[in-house]
Every structure is written in C-alpha cells, then in structure tokens.
C-alpha cells in the first residue's frame, strides 16, 4: 500500500469528473474571482455543459484520490476564455491540489493533455496564467508555451504542436 502512495497515474477524464474539474477551477482561477459579487463570469465557461465536441480532460490520481486535472475546450469569439487566441485553438486549464504541488503532477498532466491535443490534430493550445505566477510560467515555457499577449493581470501563452498531419485522419471537433 505504501508503494502506491507516491505514484502518480494520469487517466482520461470524463463526464464523471465534472465536479472535480469545477473544484479545480477554484485552484486554477481563484485570482480571477477576487470580486465577491462579480458573478460566475468567464471562469464558469471552462466546465459549463461539459462534454461538447472537443472537450478533453486528464486526471492525476495519487493513492486512489484525484490530485490534479488538466483539460481543454474551444471557445467562441463572442464568449472567449481568458487565454482565447481564436475559435480553432483550444484553451487549456490546469490545477493541482496544494498538497500535491511540487511532485511533478503538473508536468505529467501537461504532457498527457498536450499529447491528446496533438493526436486530435490541433496545431496549437493556448492558456492564461497570472503574470505573478513565475513558477507556472516557467513550467509552461518548458512544455513549449510562448507568451503571445499580456495585460495587467495575466499572460496568454501558446504552444505550437507537431501534429500528425495525415495519419489516421484528424479529429478537430
């Protein structure tokens, strides 16, 4: 049993994980929800009506319990996410519970989710990160993300993916 304790397993996420994804939003985007009366805002868009074509998630498990999640979805120009680039580029969200940080969980989640995006034929993935979060910015940079836009609070980053061009047919839905 103790051998399982430190082992991180990443599995495909699904509809059964929506509650956990919602919980992870509070870890990932708490800094965007500082105003208590601001309402749900764009943050809710990251999980609302989960299961649309293209919605993809991976969940990190340690000792039988979920400790992190990474997921992406595409947004419409009229209702963009914080890291919106264009309607064809999915936007990534990721969070790890505080007691599992610093153990490589984020790297494993990013690696797994970017592989899924690549396999689905997406040429790029974007994200938004708090400009004060130097550790996260460095993690994303190591996984191929580059800064493409900044504002007072956040940085939008984009990773170009080497996609399998004409292999088994690409699914970008």
The pLDDT tens digits of the residues spanning 44-75 come to: 889 988 999 999 999 999 999 999 999 999 99
Mean pLDDT (the chain) is 85
Question: CA 29, 148, 160: angle at the middle one, nearest 5?
Answer: 95
pLDDT over threshold 60, residue 22: yes
- Domain ranges in the chain are 2-160
Most confident of 3-7, 31-35, 38-42: 3-7
Superfamily for the 2-160 domain = Gcn5-related N-acetyltransferase (GNAT) (3.40.630.30)
Query: What is d(CA 74, CA 54) in angstroms, rounded to the nearest whole number?
Result: 7
C-alpha distance from residue 105 to each of 14, 59, 102, 165 (Å): 19, 10, 7, 29
Exposure class string for 24-60: b at 16+ Cβ within 10 A, else e: bbeebbeebeeeeeeeeeebebbbeebeeeebbbbbb
Specify the pLDDT at position 1. 39
pLDDT over threshold 90, residue 40: no
What would the pLDDT profile of 128-163 be if each residue is shown by its tens digit?
999 998 999 999 999 999 999 999 989 999 999 986
Query: What is d(CA 52, CA 74) in angstroms, rounded to the nearest whole number?
Result: 9
Question: CA 112, 54, 74: angle at the middle one, nearest 5?
Answer: 95
């Amino acid at each position: 049993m103790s051998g399982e304790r430190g082992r991180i397993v990443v599995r495909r996420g699904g509809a059964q994980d929506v509650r956990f994804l919602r919980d992870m939003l509070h870890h990932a985007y708490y800094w965007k929800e500082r105003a208590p009366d601001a309402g749900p805002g764009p943050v809710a868009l990251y999980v609302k009506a989960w299961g649309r074509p293209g919605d993809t998630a991976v969940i990190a498990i340690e000792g039988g319990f979920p400790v992190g999640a990474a997921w992406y979805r595409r947004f419409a120009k009229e209702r963009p996410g914080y890291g919106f680039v264009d309607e064809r580029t999915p936007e990534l969200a990721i969070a790890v519970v505080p007691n599992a940080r610093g153990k490589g969980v984020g790297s494993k989640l990013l690696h797994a989710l970017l592989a899924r995006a690549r396999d689905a034929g997406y040429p790029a993935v974007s994200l938004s990160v708090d400009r004060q979060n130097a550790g996260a910015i460095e993690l994303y940079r190591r996984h191929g993300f580059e800064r493409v836009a900044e504002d007072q609070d956040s940085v939008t980053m984009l990773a170009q993916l080497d996609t399998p061009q004409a292999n088994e047919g690409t699914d970008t839905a």
